[in-house]
Structure 1
Amino acid sequence: MKKNILTLIIALFIGTSCSAKNNMSNTNLSLSDQKATPETVLLYKKLSLLTQKGYLFGHQDDLAYGVKWKYEDKRSDIKDVVGDYPAIYGWDIAGLEKDDTKNIDGVPFDKMKQYIKDANERGGISTISWHFDNPATGKSAWDNTPNSLKTILPGGQNHTKFTSWLDKAASFFLSLKDKKGKNIPVLFRPFHELTGGWFWWGKPNCTSEEFKTAWKFTFEYLQKKGVHNLIYVYNTGSFASETDFLSNYPSDNYADILSFDSYQNNGDKNGEKFIAEVQSQFKILNEIAEKKHKLIALAEAGYEAVPDPKWWTGTLSKAIGDYKISYVLLWRNHGWQEKEQKMHYYVPFTGQVSEKDFVDFYNLDRTLFEKDILKTLK
């Protein structure tokens, strides 16, 4: 009979005479939330340990839908191809702030909760982003009207509205419970791609101090509401230096994982620019993380429709290289987009041109999927 993931880690890393937090401090790793649940502390430790073996592979909305299917029990495009689930599951809670029953991608929140619970039961890990609407205009997250973020700060005209949104997020996070009634730990990536100008919270649309204040308020307010099952992921777009990456950084006491997003585009057919950019940014990020004792990740990545049959072993694997990152998450497999009249997906499905190479990628020692989590920690 397989041991529970939590039991495995406790047996490996926590003796009867030492606490989880004491064990964390022995490796210079500690969560920003000083009241984090034991399960959340152990997940952070697990993420650190797994970097010694390789990096976790993730996929957005993996269990909800794929190319030409939706809401089929236990189905996954990745599982169809390699017989295993991703190790990381990405979700987004946009729509929660408006009391919608479905998120921005049409995933019902009740289904999302169940997917998160199911993944946790198998040993998988979930990460959550939030494309929340612009509180100043009522338009989407992509409405980058300047100074919108300023309105959610204490004293701002939309501060009360924003706290009501955080109340709803807190209720959602606290509703994620395992079969024993314990809160399921998740990676929370708020205000993502913060260095870009396309979101209302983006760097060009607010000052660094305003952004830091918003981040800290979000962090502290969720804790005030009793939410202690989050690992906070600080996330940017592209950056050119340590100063650039840290320009809006709220401090080591408010973030646990340092990450960025990077996509290959159609003007870079052979992936050279993508590889060079990711390698350059990991070099900078790795130096920052070593000084700050933080984990690092490629929180979003991909090449739409994966037209390169060798993209996984020939491009993505080379882009990550030998850096000890925690995880890489590929974007969603939406399928056919009627409005754009094109296919929109980022991982292969049965019959897709890069399917065989993805199997080779799966079989690499450094790529970790859901089954590898248990195997690695045995």
Structure 2
Amino acid sequence: MKKTISALLTLFCIGVSCSSKVPSNDTKLSVSDKKATKETIILYKKMTQLAQKGILFGHQDDLAYGVNWKYEAGRSDVKDVTGDYPAVYGWDLAGLEKKSANNIDGIPFDKMRQFIKEAHARGGIITLSSHFDNPLTGKNAWDTTPKSLASALPGGESHEKFKSWLDEAAKYILTLKDENGKPIPMLYRPFHELTGNWFWWCKNNGSPEEFKILWKFTIDYLQKKGVHNLIYVYNTADFKTKEEFLEYYPGPNYADILSFDKYQHSDPTKDNSFIENCQRQFKIMDEVAKEQSKIMAFAETGYEAIPYDKWWTDTLMKAIGDYKISYILVWRNHGWQEKEQKMHYYAPYKGQLSEKDFVDFYNLDKILFEKEAAKENLYKK
């Protein structure tokens, strides 16, 4: 029934003008990297088409650990609850800049490589973020010492160091290959939440011109190093106007997917602001996406510990509304945080309060997990 209804909806959208229809003109669907691999181009076009059918569900660090477990082969909190893996898997590259064996979440990069290969082989999609350290101070990504962003630019005092970090990222990305030795197409979301004020690359720490130079230099440098399997995700935090969303935007030739991050912090049964703010931002982003023939994503979201039992089908689905977004990704299931003395997870596990609602969410026609994504053969024509 789920597949039948989805197919009918797709045919309906093809036959009439849908309000948030993703551009379907193939001539406009080329990725920004002009040397992108064939499989990368295919993935982008398939994701664009699939956005008409539904929304791919993603989870950060899904295969590495969950609540009360770590590194159990084939395990996933999402799969424990639904019987299916997420369609999108989020991983972070931070740690490579220090030549660490583990990433910022403590996952060995060797294990992460294997998880990426396994997910890709099953037909899933990989998205990469990078909480790289502050290049000026050597402190973590949350250190907002003034001039840190400018220091990484060509001519800046940290530029050579920053280039060496990109060298490490490129080397690692180039090891991510499928069973046939081909580079695995992935989404790359650098300098995420750039309209916030909590990372060294955020808007409070550099002018629009400086940020655009940093973004363009990073993308160009990776491509010069032979990385041509990335789809680039432009990602903001909050914004109130179209002008604010585009203020730091590097341009259509340097981005492929438009997105923002937004988390639920207040009780949704008493406060509707999460839904209202998401709808306002999706409306603005949808206008830009149509103008530039881009697709959209909800690149990070969630409600820590999910204390509302209907958050998935009630709050989250209302926050998305009728907008055609490619994917949503909820953050990681770390479990108990000793320092903060609280639970930290964003997808339910067996027995969690919202488990039943998450299954109902899984069964919605427009929500797609890995089994349905795999049927689309996302890397083949």
- TM bucket (normalised to shorter chain) is over 0.9
Task: Specify the code of the residue in structure 2 equivalent to 1:302.
Answer: G
Contact 1:257 1:295 in 2 (8 A): yes
Q: CA RMSD of the aligned region, Å?
A: 1.2
Which residue pairs with 2:201 in the alignment? 201
**Correspondence for 2:314:** 314
Q: Distance in 2 between matches of 1:47 and 1:37?
A: 16
Match of 2:235 in 1: 235
Instruction: Give the aligned partner of residue 10 of structure 2.
Output: none
Whether the aligned pair in 1 keeps the contact of 2:122 and 2:374 (CA below 8 Å) is no
Q: Shift of residue 49 of structure 1? A: 1.2
CA separation in 1, counterparts of 2:83 and 2:139?
41
Q: Does 1:347 align with 2:347?
A: yes
Shift of 1:271: 5.2
In the alignment, is residue 122 of structure 1 matched against residue 119 of structure 2?
A: no
Give the deviation of 1:366 after TM superposition. 0.3
Aligned residue number for residue 249 of structure 1? 249
Other structure's SS at 1:73 match: coil
- What is the deviation of 1:313? 0.2
Partner of 1:357: 357
State the match for 1:151 in structure 2.
151
Give yes or no for contact 1:93–1:129 (8 Å, CA) kept in 2.
yes
Distance (Å, rounded) in 2 between the aligned partners of 1:318 and 1:200: 33
Cα distance in 1, alignment partners of residues 376 and 213 from structure 2: 39
Any idea what the Cα deviations from partners look like across 1:308-367, whole Å, max 9, x if unmatched? 000000100111111100100000000000011100000100000000000000000000
Q: Distance in 2 between matches of 1:267 and 1:321?
A: 19
1:113 aligns with 2:113: yes
Q: Give the distance between the partners of 1:355 and 1:281, measured in 2 at CA.
A: 28
Question: 1:334 matched to which residue of 2?
Answer: 334
Relative to structure 1, the CA distance from residue 206 to residue 267 in structure 2 (aligned partners, 3 Å threshold; closer, same or farther) is farther
Does the CA contact (< 8 Å) of 1:271 and 1:315 recur in 2? no
1:366 is the counterpart of 2:372? no
Q: Provide Cα deviations, 1:79-110, integer angstroms capped at 9, x if missing partner.
A: 00000000000000111100000011101100
Structure 1's unaligned 5+ residue stretches are 1-23
Greater RCO, 1 or 2 (C-alpha within 8 Å, sep 6+): 2
Aligned partner of 2:85 in structure 1 is 85
Q: CA deviation at 1:166?
A: 0.5
Q: Is 2:175 the counterpart of 1:175? A: yes
Question: 4+ residue runs of structure 1 moved beyond 6 angstroms?
Answer: none
Give the Å deviation of 1:272: 1.1
Kept in 2, the 8 Å contact 1:53–1:376? The answer is no
Q: 2: distance between equivalents of 1:376 and 1:71?
A: 29
Cα distance in 1 for partners of 2:287, 2:253 equals 18
- C-alpha distance in 2 between matches for 1:267 and 1:308: 8
Q: Which amino acid aligns with 1:341?
A: Q
1:191 offset after TM fit, Å? Answer: 0.3
Deviation, structure 1 residue 374: 2.9
How many Å apart are 1:146 and its aligned residue?
1.4
Quote the offset at 1:52 in angstroms.
1.0
Q: What percentage of aligned pairs have identical amino acids?
A: 66
Q: What amino acid does structure 2 have at the position aligned with 1:36? A: A
1:240 and 1:65, CA in 2 relative to 1: closer, same or farther beyond 3 A? same
Q: Is the 8 A contact 1:264 1:271 kept in 2?
A: no
**TM-score of the superposition, structure 2-length normalised?**
0.91
Instruction: Give the counterpart letter for 1:321 in structure 2.
Output: G
Question: d(CA) in 1 for partners of 2:365 and 2:256?
Answer: 26
SS class of match (2:28): coil
Q: Residue type matched to 2:253 in 1? A: N
> Shift in Å at residue 269 of structure 1?
4.8
* 2:310 maps to amino acid: K
Deviation per CA, 1:8-63: give whole Å up to 9, x if none.
xxxxxxxxxxxxxxxx9635211000000001001101111110110100000000
Q: Distance in 2 between matches of 1:376 and 1:275?
A: 30
Q: How many angstroms does 1:188 deviate by?
A: 0.3
What residue ranges of structure 2 are gaps of 5+ in the alignment?
Answer: 1-23
SS at match of 1:43: helix
Q: Across the two proteins, how many residue pairs are aligned to each other?
A: 355
TM-score normalized by the length of structure 1: 0.92
Give the whole-Å Cα distance in 1 for the aligned partners of 2:265 and 2:57.
21
The 3-state SS of whatever aligns with 1:359 is: helix
Name 1:260's counterpart in structure 2. 260
**CA contact 2:268–2:315 (8 Å) conserved in 1:** no
Structure 1 residue 373: Cα displacement: 1.1
Residue type of the partner of 2:28?
N
Measure, in 2, the Cα distance between the counterparts of 1:86 and 1:317. 17
Q: Secondary structure at the match of 2:297?
A: strand
